[in-house]
Amino acid sequence: MGASDSKPAGAPAAALPAPSAAPPGIPIGPDGKPKKICCCCPDTKRLRDTCIAERGEEHAYCQALIEAHKACLRVEGFKV
């Protein structure tokens, strides 16, 4: 009756690959969880945001801070 296709109850299941915790391209932190871009590089983020609020995004100093923040995020594994 087709019972020969089923495995005995005690037989180990075929090993399946573990599901990815993060989509491709998202860096994984030391705890094994995906990193959140909003939580990485808080120092450069704060300086960048303050500068933009006070001087505007086009200000040369703010542009340097924006680039510094992007560089920090790249070091953390983000593609920005």
Binding-site positions: 38-39
- Type of residue numbered 20: S
Neighbours of 72 (CB within 10 A): 18
For 34, residues 6+ apart whose C-beta sits below 8 A from its C-beta are 21, 22, 26, 27, 28
Q: Which residues are annotated as a binding site for Cu cation?
A: 38-39
